[in-house]
Structure formats: C-alpha cells, structure tokens
Amino acid sequence: MEMEEKSQNNGPKRVKGGLLTMPFILGNDVSEKLAVVGFGANMITYLTKELNMPLTQAANTLTNFGGTASLTPLLGAFIADAFAGKFWTITVASIIYQIGMTCLTVSAVLPQLRPTPCGDGTVCQQASSGQLAILYGSLLLTAVGAGGIRPCAVAFGADQFNESDPKQKAWIWKYFNWYYFSMGVSILLAVTVLVYVQDYVGWGWGLGIPTIFMFISVILFVLGYPLYRNLDPVGSPFTRLIQVSVAAFKKRKLSTDTKLLYENEEIDGPISNGGKLLHSNQLKFLDKAALVTEEDDIKSPNLWRLNTVHRVEELKCIIRMGPIWASGILLITAYAQQGTFSLQQAKTMNRRLSKSFEIPAASMSVFTYISMISTIVIYDRVLVPLSRKFTGLDRGITFLQRMGIGFTISILATLVAGMVEIKRKGVASAHGLIDNPHNLTLPISVFWLVPQYSLHGIAEAFMSIGHLEFFYDQAPESMRSTATALFWTSISMGNYVSTALVSLVHKFSAGPDGSNWLPNRNLNKGRLEYFYWLITALQVVNLIYYLFCALFYSLKPIQIQPKENVHGDKDAVELVSHV
C-alpha cells in the first residue's frame, strides 16, 4: 500500500511516513538503548569495584536509577502530547541524554572523579559525596533524556503508518516486534562488546563508544525530518481528564439519561483523529460529565461542567487500563534481579572458556537477549501465521493472551533461579568454600545460569511486547505518547518495588549472628534462593490477579474515521491511497 500526499496548489508531493522512516526512528532508540544498557548492564561492577559501594546499596542504586529513568517518560509524553509534538520532544531529549552520557564518560576518565586506588590497585575507600554527586547528576540527565525518547519513539514510529487503512495498520503490529527486536540487538551488543571493553580495556572507552553512537543517532534522526508524518499536539490530555472528573463530580446527584449525553464534532475533531470513541456502559458515573442540563451552553460549553462523550470515554479508557498496567510491575521486579543478584552469582562461578578468555559476568545477560530476539522471530514468522489459522486475528493471538503467556514463563524463570542457587551453594559447601575469604572461583560452570536468563528473555518477548501493544491499541488516539509512557512507568514501579523488596528482606532476614538472606559481601553465606522463591510466590499471586483482570476487561469502543488529519507540512493535504 502506497500513500501519496497531494498539495492543493502544487500537485503530487513526496510520500510521507512509511517504512522509509524506520531506520531514522529505530536508529535513535537503538543508540539510546546501547548507551543506557552499556552502562547499566555492568553498573553493579562499576559501583562495587570503582566506587566501593556495599552490594545492597549498589543494587538499590541500580534499581532506583532504572525506576527513575522509567518514570520520566510520563513527563516526556505529557510535553509531546500537549505542546511540542513527538519529533521535537525526541530531539531535545536526545540532546539532554547526550550531555548526561558525556558527563558519565568524563567521570570515568578523570581520576579525581573516582576514589583513589590503594597501593595494590584496588579501591579501599568509598566515593566522596562530591564524586557521587557527579555520578547521580549524570544519571539524572540520562534519565530525563530517556523520558523524552522512550514514550515518543515508540508512538512516533507507529504514527508513520495510517491506522485507518487495514493493510497499513497491520504494519503497526509488526513495528512493535521490530522495535523490540532492534532494541534486543542493541542490548546484545552492549552486554557483549561494551561490557568486555569496560572490564578489560577501561571504563573511558566503555562509556565513550555508546556516547559517540548517541551523537551520531541524534544527527541522523534530525536529518530524517522531511520524511516524517508529524501529528500536531492537541493540548494537554491530563487537563481533559481532570475536566471530565470535575464535571462528573459537579453533576454527581443527577440521574443519567443516555439520550441527553452531549456530542460535538467540532470540539472532538482535533482529539479524535483516527477514531471516535463511542459510548460504553462501564463506569457509568462518569457519563454525568456529558449530561446536558439547562445551565449548559451547548454551542460554547464550559468544559469544566459539560464534556462530550468522546472525552468521557478517554478517561474511561485510561481507568480500564489501570489494572492491566499494574499487573506488569512484578514481572519487572523479577527481571531486575538479573542485573544485581544473578550477576553476583555469575561472578562466583567458573566463567573461563579458555586459558586466555573469561566471560565477563555482566555478559551473561546475552542469553536473555538471544532468547528474546529468537522468540520474537519465531513468534512473528511461525507462531503468528499458525495461530492466525485458528483465531482469524491478523496478529495471531490477542495482546492479553500474549501477556498471560509471558507471566507464566516468568514464574518458571525465578523458580529455576532458586534451584540453581541451591546447586551453586552445594558446590561451595562440598569444596569448603562457603566462607571463601579469598573470593576463589567455585568449580561450577556459569552456564548453569543460562536457563534462568533465557526464560526471562522468552517471558519479555511475550509479556513486554504484548504490554506495549495493549497500551498503544487501547489508548485514545490523542494520548498515544502518554499511554506508551504507562508501559515505562510499570517498569519504573517494578524497579522501585525491587528496591523496597531487597531492603525489607535484607532488614528482616538479618539474624543475631550476622546471617542474612542477602549478605553484602559473601553470597555463599546467604539465602538467595529464598529471595527468588519469594518473588516466585508473588508472581503466582500476580498471575491470578492478571487472569481475573483480563477476564473482565472490555475493549475500547471506537468508530474509525474515514480520513486522518495529517500535518506533514504547512500546506493543506489530501491523502490518496492506492495499491
């Protein structure tokens, strides 16, 4: 399907959007992932060895950073949807991210920005408050930058396809798989090449390489501007949601008559681009916001007293998505342990492939991303065509079914992790290395960790992409960036829950003899398997909760508009589609 734009005065114009824009959009996001994962995958090593942080403090610093970086997309999405548009939000955010990465690289290069090594070359004192301030300030800049890139890049890429065309809409669902596939490839490079450079060449080059890639991606993204289909922002979505809530509260004592519900195509036009939301029977108390009374001026309504059905349904959509959003939190909590305690497990195990080469511990997550990428390819090329024959759906299975499969596999991942930890400690005990004062490597292969890493990757390929599809599909058309940001806020909350869980377990599992489930120094003397199984139990409860939510979830009612108001440039345009 080819789309051609026609100017009213100048005849045929160049095609906007489509597949041609994907390298520019995905390239920007790939570079952002390469940068953040290139540091984050090995951050626990940097904090414990270069800055000499205790393990639990370093783990919490890592999850707090991940949580903040996943919370800022709400701000970025708000700015994009309300004022700046997706293109300019991504551009400015990328520049901020570039500044943060540059500061991180400088802090890794200049010796005075890190603790002074002792005589034997090891770090024996913790970083000063000034050194930590530079670190946290740099991380904050990257978190703010990521907040503008993450929600907008996904929605901006999907915006390049015309949703009112069924054939083009099919490309949207393929795009989400491409997005995660390209992200997986960039992460794969980060946890192999970059982690190796950080461990064996130096942190200056290890951070400098992704910083250079990020700079190049910003230039390429801006150069692609003439190719993009840009939808103008239509005002603050949060203001509309608040207006509906206030109007419903003011009219809370009135009885609802569906015949008196307010419709106004002129008011809804700018915000219903691509699809008008129809009245639904859920959350009926909100319908009062669209109830016309004698005090209301239907020609020029006060939106704090009277709203249209479409605006009311926008709020209903967001509320209906809430329980499904919350179900994704614990999966991220489980996933977060790969960068903390699973990495610490790997450090104690035999990682040598030959006398001259040892696998960096942080590179073990390569198995997560190999399994994730492989699952995405198999899902797109095999499972979707096969399941389509039985379900009749273009995407094979629904996003709710896809998420449920991911939740189930994630339970297996943490269950297996606990079993492998028992095996690892059994080897330590058999060889008298429980105390292990000299940090000797245990005679057990690090490849015992492959199953838990791989299961996490398979779970993410199902659940996270399904989650992303869910937010984009079920959100009102004018709130696509905001809804995509909800995906990242679930990641944020998952990291914060991980921080809280680690802190609580560390506090309440402490024994009078100094024992602890999660010891700061010697993992062999802990009970990490109990921690994994605690997360497994929480995930089982979460799966039951999710199944209950999915069973009663109602899809948004929508009437697709025949034409889409596309603002590719300042000229008025008409879309003409032909095969």
Mind listing the pLDDT tens digit for each residue in 355-406?
888 888 877 888 988 998 899 889 888 888 888 888 877 777 888 999 999 9
Q: Do 124 and 265 fall into the same domain?
A: no
Q: Do 123 and 254 fall into the same domain?
A: no
Which tokens hold the place of 535?
Answer: 């997360």
Tell me if 143 is assigned to some domain: yes
Q: Do 19 and 125 fall into the same domain?
A: yes
Which tokens hold the place of 186?
Answer: 């960039």
Tell me if 509 is assigned to some domain: no
- Name the stretches of the chain with pLDDT < 70: 1-15, 36, 39-41, 66-67, 70, 116-125, 163-170, 173, 269-270, 272-275, 339, 437-438, 558-579
Q: Rounded to an integer, what distance in angstroms lies between the CA atom of residue 395 and that of residue 31?
A: 28
Of the chain, the percentage scoring pLDDT greater than 90 comes to 17
Among 171, 201, 234, the domain boundary falls at 234
Q: What is the DSSP string of 291-325?
A: B--TT--SSS--TTT---HHHHHHHHHHHHHHHHH
Which tokens hold the place of 261?
Answer: 């519900």
Cβ atoms 187, 37 nearer than 8 A: yes
Q: Calculate Rg over the CA atoms of the chain.
A: 26
Q: Do 151 and 101 fall into the same domain?
A: yes
Among 234, 260, 284, the domain boundary falls at 234
Tell me if 526 is assigned to some domain: no
Q: How many CB atoms lie within 10 A of CB 478?
A: 25
Q: Rounded to an integer, what distance in angstroms lies between the CA atom of residue 366 and that of residue 567?
A: 41
In this prediction, residue 4 carries a pLDDT of 41
Cβ atoms 45, 199 nearer than 8 A: yes
Q: Do 100 and 201 fall into the same domain?
A: yes
Q: Rounded to an integer, what distance in angstroms lies between the CA atom of residue 135 and that of residue 108?
A: 9
Return the DSSP state at 2: E
The region that residue 349 occupies, defined by phi over 0 for left and psi between -120 and 50 for alpha, beta otherwise, is beta
Tell me if 69 is assigned to some domain: yes
Q: Rounded to an integer, what distance in angstroms lies between the CA atom of residue 202 and that of residue 526?
A: 31
Q: Do 117 and 166 fall into the same domain?
A: yes
Give the chain's domain count.
Answer: 2
Q: Do 214 and 76 fall into the same domain?
A: yes
Q: Do 62 and 198 fall into the same domain?
A: yes
Q: How many CB atoms lie within 10 A of CB 164?
A: 16
Q: Do 243 and 99 fall into the same domain?
A: no
The closest of 551, 162, 174 to 384, measured between CA atoms, is: 174
Mind listing the pLDDT tens digit for each residue in 158-205?
778 776 666 666 677 677 777 778 877 887 887 778 878 887 888 788
In this prediction, residue 83 carries a pLDDT of 80
Q: What are phi and psi of 330, to 5 degrees?
A: -70, -30
Q: How many CB atoms lie within 10 A of CB 382?
A: 11
Tell me if 403 is assigned to some domain: no
Tell me if 545 is assigned to some domain: no
- 216's enclosing H/E stretch is helix 203-223
Tell me if 387 is assigned to some domain: no
Q: Do 76 and 159 fall into the same domain?
A: yes
Please give the C-alpha separations between residue 105 and each of 47, 48, 137, in angstroms, as whole numbers: 15, 18, 13
Range list of H helices, 41-165: 43-45, 55-71, 73-79, 86-109, 129-159
CATH at 111: 1.20.1250.20
Among 181, 213, 234, the domain boundary falls at 234
Q: Rounded to an integer, what distance in angstroms lies between the CA atom of residue 526 and that of residue 530?
A: 9
Q: Which residue has the tokens 């997360």?
A: 535
Q: How many CA atoms lie within 13 A of 530 on its CB side?
A: 14
Q: Do 82 and 220 fall into the same domain?
A: yes
Tell me if 454 is assigned to some domain: no
Which tokens hold the place of 268?
Answer: 């809804």
pTM: 0.73
Q: Do 253 and 159 fall into the same domain?
A: no
Q: How many CA atoms lie within 13 A of 197 on its CB side?
A: 16
- Quote the longest CA-to-CA distance of the chain: 86
Q: Rounded to an integer, what distance in angstroms lies between the CA atom of residue 486 and that of residue 151?
A: 8
Give the residues across from 12 on adjacent strands: 6
In this prediction, residue 324 carries a pLDDT of 92
Cβ atoms 420, 452 nearer than 8 A: yes
Residue 432 identity (one-letter amino acid): G
Parent domain of 567: 237-317+559-576
Mind listing the pLDDT tens digit for each residue in 17-76?
777 888 888 877 777 777 767 766 677 777 777 777 777 777 777 777 766 776 788 788
In this prediction, residue 8 carries a pLDDT of 45
In this prediction, residue 423 carries a pLDDT of 93
In this prediction, residue 14 carries a pLDDT of 56
**What stretches of 317-415 adopt beta strand conformation (E)?**
349-350
The region that residue 108 occupies, defined by phi over 0 for left and psi between -120 and 50 for alpha, beta otherwise, is alpha
Cβ atoms 134, 114 nearer than 8 A: no
Q: Rounded to an integer, what distance in angstroms lies between the CA atom of residue 303 and that of residue 117?
A: 63
